[in-house]
Amino acid sequence: MAEIKSIGVAVPKYCHSQQDILAFMQEIYHLDSIEKRKLSFLYSQSGIAQRHSVIPDFGLPSNQWTFVPSNSSKDFPDIDQRMAIYQKQAIPLSLEAIENCIKDQCDISEITHLITVSCTGMSAPGLDLEILEALKLSPSLFRTSINFMGCYAAIHGLKIAKLICDSSPDAQVLLVCLELCTIHLQKEYSLDNAASSLLFADGCAVALINNQTNQKSLTIKGFHAHVASKGKSDMAWDISKKGFLMKLSSYVPQMIESDIKTLLEEALKKNKLDNQAVSHWCIHPGGKKIVDLIEKELGLSQSNTEDARTILRQYGNMSAPTILFVLKSIMEKDLKENALVFGVAFGPGLTMETFLLKNSITHLEHA
């Protein structure tokens, strides 16, 4: 059975308080007093205390900005400049998370498969080959990349990792999820851009998946997905010469609210389980309102959503890596025998992906 053995994370060195980011946004967008109050209210309701970025500007006076021009008549960086930042920053962050993931687990030379996930930067040769070269991995290493799937992409990566482990008993799979969302900050003030600048942050999460069971690993039991096509235009991610453009409608939480209960029932039915069987809830904190609605619709307690809310508060929404940050928090707990973890994340489509994990201690006892 495929096991998630460990998760390592890393974030950029620049940590900005939500209040500093708010002041920065109010300044670059030249908002009047009314719009400033509106944006201030949204930030106060975000459930986010701080976020990390590869960009230092958010906490600096305008004469020290390096990404945003202090002269408002000048353009923001174009797509080439943004991708240059991605190229420079992606590898160090990925390598730090990989090191945090595999220490005390395996030697880097034992890695047989590499899955990379990102929707905020692309190139060829890409992140997978750069990791291979930096870590001196085998030139015959199995590699695959998942691009542009957004916040649920880590779950898709886990699906591929499970398929690999199920067919290759000795596989050691690294799943690397790296996003630099903040490099796509846009100059124009709009509802979509305001929502993006309110939520998104940078980070990397790496999971090691193999067939070796121990007391800390979680067995991957299965997956379930649902695409609500009615929402395909409400969450989107497009490439332009100005960078990647986010479309994030205010209707997304309502669509999740209307479908989440059915999604859960169908996912658990596959494994002949019910809601009461789940002991830990690994919810992608796409935003405070989304977590609130899931808690309400599924009849969860505040303790059930504590991990998601804590990650949102400390890191914001880092897109794909975020749910692995939440899962890492859960795995660090003293999980009871047979504990079941239900995970759910959302992304463009509107796509809803779920996974079901089980504490592996029972496998040890029956081995």
Residue 5 has pLDDT above 90, yes or no: yes
Residue 347: the pLDDT is: 83
CA atoms within 13 A on the CB side of 208: 28
Range of 122-126, 153-157, 245-249 with top mean pLDDT: 153-157
Domain-by-domain residue ranges, the chain?
3-210, 218-366
- Domain 3-210 matches domain 218-366 at the CATH topology level: yes
Tokens for 197?
């600048």
Residue 365 has pLDDT above 50, yes or no: no
Predicted local distance difference test score (pLDDT) of residue 337: 85
Q: How far apart are the C-alpha atoms of 265 and 272, rounded to whole Å?
A: 10
Task: Provide CATH code, domain 218-366.
Answer: 3.40.47.10
Q: Distance between CA 319 and CA 235 in Å, rounded?
A: 13
CA distance to 168, 329, 350, per residue, from 142 (Å): 12, 29, 30
Q: Which phi and psi (to 5°) does residue 8 adopt? A: -120, 145
Q: What is the pTM of this model?
A: 0.94
Find where tokens 């003030």 sit: 189
- CATH classification code of 3-210: 3.40.47.10
277-314 pLDDT tens trace: 899 999 999 999 999 999 998 899 999 999 999 999 99
What pLDDT, on a 0 to 100 scale, did the predictor assign at position 366? Answer: 41
> For residues 256-272, b (16+ Cβ closer than 10 Å) or e, as one string?
bbebbeebbeebbeeee
What distance in Å separates the CA atoms of residue 195 and residue 362, rounded to the nearest whole number?
44
pLDDT one-digit tens code per residue, 47-75: 999 999 999 999 899 999 999 998 888 99
The rounded percent of the chain whose pLDDT value lies above 90 is 70
